[in-house]
Structure 1
Amino acid sequence: MEEDHSLDRIDRNILRQLQRDADLPNTALAQRVHLSATACLRRVEKLKARGIIRRTVAMIDPEAVDMTTLVFVGVVLDRSTPESFEDFETAARSLSGCLECHLVAGEVDYFLLLRTRDLARFNKLHAGEIIKLPGVRQIRTFFVLKEILSTTELPV
C-alpha cells in the first residue's frame, strides 16, 4: 500500500507558521492552528517523520557576521559525464561560503550561490578554490548589487 503524501489544511497551516518562526512554542502554534497542544505536537512530529519538515535552523543576518557579498557563479565543466558531475558535486559541497549548488540546463552546467565578506575575499576564494574544482572549464561570476527578495518560505 502506498503512503498518502497529501497535506490537509491544518498541516499546511502548521507548515506556514513554522516557516515564519520555527522557535514558536508548541502551545502558541497550537493556538494559531486551532488544535490542542497534544494534537499539534503529534502533527508536527508526523510531519518530521514523513520528511516534510527536514530540519530546523537559525537564519543569521549576513551583516551581523560580516558576510554581505552575495555572488552567483555559473560553472561550465570540461566534460559532461556522470563521473565529472559526481566529482564536481562532491567538491562543491565543501566549498567555503557555498550556500547552494544546482545542476541546470542551459549555457552553464551549475550555478553556485556563495556568500563572502567582500570582493577581496571572493577573489581569494575564486583563485584558491573555485577554479580548482574538478572539471571546471569556465566560470561566469555575477555579483549581487541589491537583494530584492530572499526567503526560505515555500507557498504551502
Structure 2
Amino acid sequence: MNDNHRIDNLDRQIIATLQQDARTPYAELAKRVGVSAATVHVRVEKLRQAGIISATRAIVNPRALGYDVCCFIGINLKSARDYNAALEHLNELDEVVEAFYTTGHYNIFIKVMTRSIDELHTLLTSKIQTIDEIQSTETLISLHNPIQRQVVP
C-alpha cells in the first residue's frame, strides 16, 4: 500500500461511481466522468495498488435472507492479553459480522446478525458467554438502521 497516494477530483468521481455500483463498466464510467476507458482503468489500478480500493463485493440485504435481528455486543475481557484468543473464538461464529477493538467501557465491540431473538439468546448463552476469555457482555439490539453509507472520497 502506498500511503502517499493523493486522490484528485477524477479519482473521487471514479470511487463514488464504483461505490454506487461496482459493476459499472469502465467505458460507461469513462463517459460519466469525461475521460477515456483506458484512463479509468489506469486510475482504478493505481487506487487498488495504493490500497484505497481494497475490494469489490456484492452487498447482501440480511433481511432478505431472514436475518431480522441486528445487535451490538460490548465485550469485557478478563485480561487485555486475552484479546487475540477471544477474537479467534469470535471469528469462528458466522453470526459475528464485524468486530472492533475499542477504547472506553468495552475491550471489543461486535455486530451480530441472527434470524430471531431465540437464535440471539442461544448465541449469547451457548457460544459467546462460554468463551473463557470473556468476563462479561452487554447487548444492544438495533431497532432501525436509518443511515448506511461508505465514507465520501
TM-score if structure 2 supplies the norm length?
Answer: 0.92
**What residue in structure 2 maps to residue 103 of structure 1?**
101
Amino acid in structure 2 at the alignment position of 1:125: L
**What residue in structure 2 maps to residue 59 of structure 1?**
59
CA distance in 2, matches of 1:44, 1:52: 9
The aligned length equals 152
The percentage of aligned residue pairs carrying the same residue is: 27
**What residue in structure 1 maps to residue 91 of structure 2?**
93
**What residue in structure 2 maps to residue 45 of structure 1?**
45
**What residue in structure 1 maps to residue 124 of structure 2?**
126
Q: CA deviation at 1:96?
A: 2.0
TM-score if structure 1 supplies the norm length?
Answer: 0.91
Structure 1 alignment gaps of length 5 or more: none
Question: Does 2:146 correspond to 1:155?
Answer: no
CA distance in 2, matches of 1:3, 1:80: 30
Report SS of the residue matched to 2:74.
strand
CA distance in 1, matches of 2:75, 2:60: 27
CA distance in 1, matches of 2:34, 2:112: 40
1:37-71 CA-to-partner distances (Å, cap 9, x unmatched) read: 11111111121122211111111112210012101
Report SS of the residue matched to 2:140.
strand
Question: Does 2:103 correspond to 1:138?
Answer: no
Structure 2 alignment gaps of length 5 or more: none
CA distance in 1, matches of 2:94, 2:4: 39
**What residue in structure 2 maps to residue 114 of structure 1?**
112
Decide whether the 8 Å contact of 1:91 with 1:134 is kept in 2. Answer: no
CA distance in 2, matches of 1:59, 1:66: 15
